[in-house]
Amino acid sequence: MNREQENSLLNSLKEDFIELSEVLQELWSGYGKICRYTLKPSGNSIIVKEIDLKAKGSHPRGWNTETSHQRKLRSYEIECNWYKDWADSCNDDCRLPKLLFLDSSEINIILALEDLDAAGFPKRLEVVDRQIARLTLKWLANFHARFIGKEPSRLWGEGTYWHLDTRKDEWEAMPEGILKTKSLVISKTLAEAKYQTIVHGDAKLANFCYSTDFQKVAAVDFQYVGGGCGIKDVAYFLSSCFESEELFDYADGLLDFYFDELKKAIIKSNHSIDLDALEEEWWRLYPFAWADFCRFLEGWSPDHWKLHDYSREMTERALNACN
């Protein structure tokens, strides 16, 4: 953040000074950093995502291509659009940080957001039980219900960071086989679903923040937000929480919970939708969501821990349904 941007931020927030408190994390592939700053005289803290648009990246798995670079730049542009155009439509049932300041230039983007730690969401988890999974699925259900039927204007036309149109390099790297052959059919089946919404696009456990009593949750990181059927977020979230054996034991019950919450949220939002038809379609597409994600993993990281018995069974179900 240069001096001019710093002064603009201070003027916007009616503060006198800004002080770096800590660097929270480096952005993926070296595109910048996320920092916590303290403002004076208020003493309030804010989170600033500082994005270096001139970075070329150093991908840990070697995927530093021009395609990857352009996808990253587009993702940051879309995250800005999300906070400018869409985020205010979310309420406490799908809580996210409030936009405080945004500035973009040819060389960088400064995205200043509410500090969720200070707002009552200080907990980050690496392991969850079913109670926390249900809390997070309720967030997703309310998020999907809020945007059901909306066109993803100025977002990704198809949300999720792994969707096929933006992952041709990874598709080329896949081993030959039926999943590679049927990848386009799987992708089109999801994209052509009747019931579409806005998906978070990177709804992994690491992108959710929890209250101290674990009764409330908020989400961050909207670089891959866009159109899609909500079950893609659900499958991806579950993949980030549970091992194969746990998924065989828990997934169906958690899906039932998600659909109950989704239907309640849609009724509350006064959308006129055939709820049973939506549930039937997204249940049917659940294996396709897994297969679509596994297609990406097989090219990107074929030894990934998420390529396990459960994900293979879901993929097999989708492939059988393609015939």
Query: Could you tell me the CATH number of the domain that includes residue 245?
Result: 3.90.1200.10
Which residue do the tokens 């060389």 mark? 107
Inter-CA distances, 75 with 30, 97, 177, Å: 14, 18, 31
Same domain, 252 and 179: yes
Q: Per the structure block, which two tokens stand in for 11?
A: 């003027």
Same domain, 91 and 162: no
So what's the pLDDT on residue 116? 98
Same domain, 157 and 280: yes
The per-residue b/e assignment along 113-143, b for 16 or more CB within 10 angstroms, e otherwise, is bbbbeebebebebeebebebbbbbbbbbbbb
Contact 286, 232 (CB under 8 A): no
Q: Per the structure block, which two tokens stand in for 310?
A: 């459960």
Q: Which band of pLDDT confidence, cut at 50, 70 and 90, is reported for residue 65? A: confident
Contact 319, 183 (CB under 8 A): no
Same domain, 161 and 301: yes
Round to whole Å and give the CA distance between 322 and 189.
Answer: 9
Average pLDDT on 109-124 reads: 98
Same domain, 149 and 203: yes
Round to whole Å and give the CA distance between 164 and 166.
Answer: 5
Average pLDDT on 20-33 reads: 91
Which residue do the tokens 């086989």 mark? 177
Does the pLDDT value for residue 49 go beyond 80? yes
Inter-CA distances, 209 with 50, 116, 187, Å: 20, 8, 30
DSSP string, 112-168: EEE-TTTTT--B--SS--HHHHHHHHHHHHHHHHHTTT---TTSBSS-STT-GGG-H
Query: Angle 275-202-67 (CA atoms, 0-180°, nearest 5)?
Result: 125
So what's the pLDDT on residue 323? 65
Same domain, 67 and 153: no
Domain count, the chain: 2
Last residue of some domain: 114, 149, 170? 114
Q: What is the pLDDT of residues 217-263, one digit of tens each?
A: 999 999 999 999 999 999 999 999 999 999 999 999 999 999 999 99
Q: What is the pLDDT of residues 173-202, one digit of tens each?
A: 999 999 999 999 999 999 999 999 999 999
Share of the chain above pLDDT 90, in %: 90
Round to whole Å and give the CA distance between 264 and 141.
Answer: 9
Does the pLDDT value for residue 62 go beyond 70? no
So what's the pLDDT on residue 175? 94
Round to whole Å and give the CA distance between 315 and 294.
Answer: 7
φ, ψ of residue 46 in degrees (nearest 5): -135, 160
Does the pLDDT value for residue 64 go beyond 80? no
pTM of this structure: 0.95
Instruction: Provide the terminal-to-terminal Cα distance of the chain, rounded to the nearest Å.
Output: 54
Which residue in 182, 220, 180, 218 sits closest to 201, CA to CA?
Answer: 220
So what's the pLDDT on residue 66? 82
Does the pLDDT value for residue 58 go beyond 80? no
Share of the chain above pLDDT 70, in %: 97
Q: Which domain holds residue 260?
A: 130-322
So what's the pLDDT on residue 269? 87
31 is a domain residue: yes
Q: What is the mean pLDDT of the chain?
A: 95
φ, ψ of residue 50 in degrees (nearest 5): -105, 115
Average pLDDT on 114-127 reads: 97
Does the pLDDT value for residue 61 go beyond 60? no
215 is a domain residue: yes
